Chains A and B, each alone.
Chain A
Amino acid sequence: MKAPARLPRWAEFGLLPLVNLCAALLISGAIIRLIGESPWEAFRLMVTGAFGAQDSIGYTLFYATDFVFTGLAVAVAFHAGLFNIGGEGQAYIGGLGAGLVCLAFGSWSPWIVVPLGIAAGCLFGAAWALVPAWLQARRGSHIVITTIMSNFIASALMTYLLVNVLIKPGQQSPETREFGPGAVMPAVDVVLGKFGITFAPSPFNLASLLALAACLAVWVFIWRTRWGYALRVVGQNPRAAVYAGISPERTIIVAMLISGGLAGCLGVNELMGSQHRILLDFPGGAGFVGIAVALMGRNHPLGILAAALLFGALYQGGSELSFDMPHVNRDMVVLIQGLVILFCGALENVFRAPLASLLGAARKAPLT
């Protein structure tokens, strides 16, 4: 196979993503200049928009929580050599699961409903990933194609359910009724308030702790368990895995179930933490941001955490930006997201070789 230049770890996980990010920002800056606005001013507005006040920090961390879930989802599948583009659909259906539990048991104690909702979110997300997983494992159908198709099917299914079945009677917009009081993931400002600390209200909620736990769990799973080892072997070399007595089929299915379950947790943050009802298109593209986050974070939970924070800041800063610059809005953030995917993913070899020779790392690199 191809033999990309080897980089020392700090460059692989720090310098290279940074160089890629700079390239993406540079092009975005050039486009903002082309539009006739000042890139520096836009940058400054974005940073203050994302971190300038307590509530904007809250929003940044709220978005980051979404992206940790979807980023981890992409990463787990990636370690098994699978490209799961279906995070968006899995998150959508996962949210349905969490939402149904919340609608049904919303009047019970949160100590029961919240864990139940999380479990349902994971379960539904995993179930939605099961079909593409099974097809890849048993029939060899390309997982990229089947996960894309399942995104569209999820979207059609959710539109049908919300418009025809779950809609609150007597209202126009396709949304369910509000969840009961027990089905609410407590907001961080409320929790801090109980300890006498005042923090401006924002949708930032305790699902972020779940996201941190998920990071840790994914790290332990991938690098410290037998299952994770099997997953990485299948990802690197499915044939070697067979000789080692690992079943690629089973591993693929397990990886995709975990991936779908992680994506499904997005519903916990968005619906139980913020919206308190099921509504149309609540994932809002977070499943695709997950691809950028995983690529930039080099599929490592720590990297994903950092990349998710960056994208959280970009999303929050981007929406603030449009108030001061009427000609620039959040579309610019989508553009940056695409550029990050391009540079960190598709064009990573372009910067890798010059960086490697620059660092002089090439000479001591062992052959792979």
Chain B
Amino acid sequence: MDAFRELILLLAATIRVATPLVLAALAGLFSERSGLIDLGLEGKMLAAAFASAAVSAVTGSAWLGLGAGIATATALALVIAFACVTHRGNQVVAAMAINIIVAGLGPALALAWFDQGGQTPQLEGPGQRFLGIAWPGTQLARRHPFPGLVYAELLSGHNLIVYLAAALVPASAWVLYRTRFGLRLRAVGENPLAVDTAGISVNALRYQASLISGVLCGVAGTYLSTAASAGFVRDMTAGKGYLALAALIFGKWRPYPTLFACLLFAFADAGAARLQGVALPVVGVIPVQFIIALPYILTILLLAGFVGEAVAPKAIGVPYSKEK
């Protein structure tokens, strides 16, 4: 029974770790499918994490924080789109610029406004965070651990953003594969000239994709600072944006495989914390650092063609110009 309990808790932790990855990977899904390399996930998330924590700390409302997070990440997405779509700048350079700007600006503003060494104040007041929602009957369910724990720990008790992220995966799949917008979006990432010839604006589609990416990154960042933890700290995304991008590549730019990749990476991460110093049969003690590096190693192996094949949208990273 204890092993079962451990497993359920591990899976619950996996869900919590996976949530920002799923949101950021979906953000990347939209922009990359439209032909934009979205290395800026990291920066947009970090900016949203700061903005939401700062606004929530000042106003006392997590919802206003969420609004600020989304607004900030979207604004940055627009800056990148302005540079890369309107001015056909290098997408990788623009995204790296945004990531570095945010890495400096967040702590700089936090230091100036809150005077706590580059952090925002702890969010302790009521309504300042998105807290877990206990479903009805969890107490009752706990009494019968076997099916009960699944309900009490795995389904119930997460915060709103976790459920939102879960709902957004089928929603994104529907938008991408079942709507006219989705069809155009996928087309513009493969062959922008064809879309242009059909009389549809390539730039408008790419701006729309950037906006969606900004909104989703905003939610992901808000989750980090006002749901998963209680406030913004320096570099709190810690590479999650790049990890989400790895998951997106691992999922071959498709919604459900990407979700699976996020869960896999999150499982490894949640497991690493529990496996610290524990000797496993056959392999012995696995270094935590190896598990941390595992998603990146797997992605490189995938890109190398050793585990399946990942084919990116054909027009990714190529600025579109009518005059060509």
Contacts and interface: CB of A to CB of B under 8 A. Distances in A.
Interface of A: 1-2, 31, 35-36, 83, 85, 131, 135, 139, 141-142, 144-146, 148-150, 152-153, 156-157, 159-160, 163-164, 288, 291-292, 295, 327-329, 331-339, 341-342, 345-350
A139 B309 CA distance: 10
B305 interface: yes
A333 B104 contact: yes
B272 to A, nearest CB: 11
A141 B185 CA distance: 23
Interface of B: 37, 39, 79-80, 83-84, 87-94, 96-109, 111-113, 115, 118, 239, 242, 245-246, 249, 287, 289-290, 292-293, 296-297, 299-300, 303-305, 312, 317, 319, 321, 324
B312 A331 contact: no
Given A2-B88, A149-B246, A338-B104, A156 B94 contact: no
Contact of B299 (A149, A163, A327): A149
Nearest to B316: A142
Contacts of B88: 2, 349
- Most chain A CB atoms below 10 A, which of B39, B103, B113: B103
A149 to B, nearest CB: 4
A347 B292 contact: no
A342 B97 contact: yes
A186 B243 CA distance: 41
Contacts of A349: 87-89
- Most chain B CB atoms below 10 A, which of A131, A146, A153: A153
Contact of A288 (B100, B112, B293, B305): B100
B300 A346 contact: no
B100 A337 contact: yes
Contacts of A295: 93
Contacts of B112: 35-36, 327-328
A153 B293 contact: yes
A153 B297 contact: yes
Contact of A335 (B105, B113, B249): B105
A315 B199 CA distance: 50
A345 B100 CA distance: 13
B104 A345 contact: no
Contacts of A350: 83, 87
- Most chain B CB atoms below 10 A, which of A336, A347, A349: A347
Contacts of B93: 83, 291, 295, 341, 345-346
Contact of A347 (B83, B104, B249): B83
Contacts of A328: 108, 111-112
A146 to B, nearest CB: 6
A85 B96 contact: yes
Contacts of A148: 39, 242, 245
A2 B319 contact: yes
Given A148-B242, A152-B296, A346-B84, A157 B104 contact: no
B190 to A, nearest CB: 16
A347 B289 contact: no
B311 to A, nearest CB: 10
A12 B170 CA distance: 50
A156 B324 contact: no
A261 B166 CA distance: 45
